[in-house]
A and B are shown apart, each in its own frame.
Chain A
Amino acid sequence: MSAIEGAPNGRQANMAVLAQAASSDIATAWAAWPEKPDFHLVRGPETGLVMVRGRAGGGGAPFNLGEATVTRATVRLATGEIGHSYALGRDGEKARLAAIFDALWQRPDDAPAVDALVATLREKTETADDRRREETAATRVNFFTMVRGDD
């Protein structure tokens, strides 16, 4: 199931928003988080490569396009929840914090606050995307058809 088509606040959708969010926004949210949980790092943060694939013709057989840097982390809260994060780029701190938020979301008491954070981050991305669409739309060619009269 595609991440974008999942439920708006499902785990998959939340992870997608965290992956796209700016490092500084996640860091700010963490700094302001009232009750930071105890946790330990199970794996990472580590940077590796994902081979990005395309499709021949756009919709045909897959081919390997080229690699992208990806950083991932897995944390475990003292209360047992396991959080993962995977995101493009080489930002280890963002990976670590995103994994903690993923773990926190699995605690019923903390889930609403994480959902609220995700909603804020999502809105920021969507606003930026809307602006991009509007700037592109301004470059749309409008073909006027001239109707000649019977002169």
Chain B
Amino acid sequence: MYVAVKGGEAAIANAHRLLADRRRGDRSVPALRLDQIIEQLGLAVDRCMGEGSLYDKELAALAIIQARGDLIEAIFLVRAYRTTLPRFGYSTPVDTGKMLIERRISATFKDLPGGQLLGPTFDYTHRLLDPTIAENGAVAEGERRDADAEQAPRVTDLLAGEGLIEPDGVAENGEVGDLTRSPLEFPLDRDLRLQALARGDEGFLLGLAYSTQRGYARSHPFVGEIRIGEVDVELDIPELGFAVNLGRIKVTECQMVNQFKGSAKAPPQFTRGYGLVFGQAERKAMSMALCDRALRAREFGEDLAGIAQDEEFVISHLDNVQSTGFVEHLKLPHYVDFQAELGLVRRMRAEYEAKQAEGDEPLQEAAE
């Protein structure tokens, strides 16, 4: 039995028009501008860039407005836009050691070289809603103090001395996996996992990260360091014979340090998880670092105690565009499938009731 679906074009055209109308809202209210979103909703822009996997503030801001503030919808728009641009190449890896730092903290060392630099953090705000923000009064500029000339060294380098912390690993510049070019095949190497984690949904990774702390992966993590700031991006240009500096992007880096009791494969030491994301996205970087460490269970010969250590589960479900693609596809017409199911359920129900009717007589006798 078929259901004809025609005449949808007019409905869709009107739906789009209504969407545009609702997006704009009350016409007497000033329309949003891209620069307002970039300047005043910067962390939404950063999330859109990070999960959309495209560093471009104007595009992210446009997507956020177009999506009426639905960030996953905005991320979807950015991902789609990416496919229209040609790839010029791969940058040389960014050097977070040379970052122009805006925030830098460590939970493992109190008074460390370079200092604890709080930056523009929410951490100490007590989370009290502030009605004065809505009054649009004048806002003072940041206070200024003389800056330290020396660059803050990496905390992981400070710990490296006694050999008790896992080193960075071989910095070999061999083949780097790229999930935007080849389908993922499990088991994955760490480079592909990190790429997937960097684009992954913050909420999903946050929940998994939390689960590792609640005992589902036996980890005792410390924040070795979080740093937020700008790094140079460089690209090798064959026709020039040198690397060009393309400019700077903001990134958030998190080094998680975990106590590890040792196993058949590795001695007792501090092992590490790494998070690196576009923009200012501390919660995401921390979650990424915790999940990175959990997913390295195999490397350390650890027993799998929780779902956050299950690579296939984590990596297959962390991409919110992929997830929503399948979840939202359920809205598509499944009329024929459903008619078939309806017929099947009717038949099964008839059989069930017939069996019940047969079975009732012996039961009545037993009750009597």
Contact = CB atoms under 8 A, between A and B. Distances in A.
Interface in A9-49: 12, 15-16, 19-20, 46-49
A60 B296 CA distance: 15
A64 B169 contact: no
A114 interface: no
Interface string B183-211: 00000001110110011000000000000
User: What class of interface size applies to chain B in its complex with A?
Assistant: 35 or more
B187 to A, nearest CB: 16
Interface string B249-286: 10101010000000000000000101011100000000
Contacts of B278: 65-66
B118 A72 contact: no
Contacts of B88: 48-50, 70, 72, 86
Contacts of A4: 98, 232, 245
A135 B144 contact: yes
A78 interface: no
Contact of B276 (A54, A61, A90, A143): A54
Interface stretch (B24-32, B130-138, B171-179, B310-318): B171-179
Given A50-B91, A51-B90, A68 B191 contact: no
A48 B235 CA distance: 13
A64 B176 contact: yes
A123 interface: no
Contacts of B235: 50, 70, 86
Contacts of B174: 61
B198 A87 contact: no
Contact of A62 (B50, B93, B242): B93
A96 to B, nearest CB: 16
A89 to B, nearest CB: 7
A88 B98 CA distance: 19
A90 B88 CA distance: 14
Nearest to B49: A66
B117 A139 contact: yes
Interface in B104-126: 110-111, 115-121
B-side binding surface: helix, strand, loop or mixed? mixed
B117 A88 contact: no
A19 to B, nearest CB: 5
B146 interface: yes
B178 A56 contact: no
B144 A134 contact: yes
Contacts of B117: 136-137, 139-141
Given A68-B55, A69-B55, A63 B191 contact: yes
Contacts of A131: 144
Contacts of A147: none
A87 B87 contact: no
Contacts of A134: 144-147
Contacts of B90: 50-51, 53, 64
Given A3-B244, A55-B93, A60 B171 contact: yes
A130 B147 CA distance: 8
B247 A19 contact: yes
Contacts of A59: 97, 154, 156, 168, 171
Contacts of B247: 19-20, 87-89
21 contacts: A6-B242, A16-B244, A52-B91, A52-B94, A53-B93, A56-B168, A58-B97, A58-B255, A58-B276, A61-B174, A61-B191, A62-B171, A65-B198, A65-B251, A69-B59, A70-B235, A134-B145, A136-B102, A137-B144, A139-B121, A143-B111
Interface of A: 1-4, 6, 12, 15-16, 19-20, 46-70, 72, 84, 86-90, 129-141, 143
Interface of B: 49-50, 53-56, 58-59, 82, 85-94, 96-98, 100-103, 110-111, 115-121, 142-148, 154, 156, 167-174, 176-180, 190-192, 194-195, 198-199, 232-235, 237, 239-240, 242-249, 251, 253, 255, 272, 274, 276-278
Given A54-B96, A62-B173, 17 more contacts: A4-B245, A12-B244, A12-B245, A48-B87, A49-B85, A50-B89, A51-B91, A55-B94, A57-B274, A58-B168, A59-B97, A59-B171, A61-B190, A66-B53, A70-B88, A134-B146, A138-B144
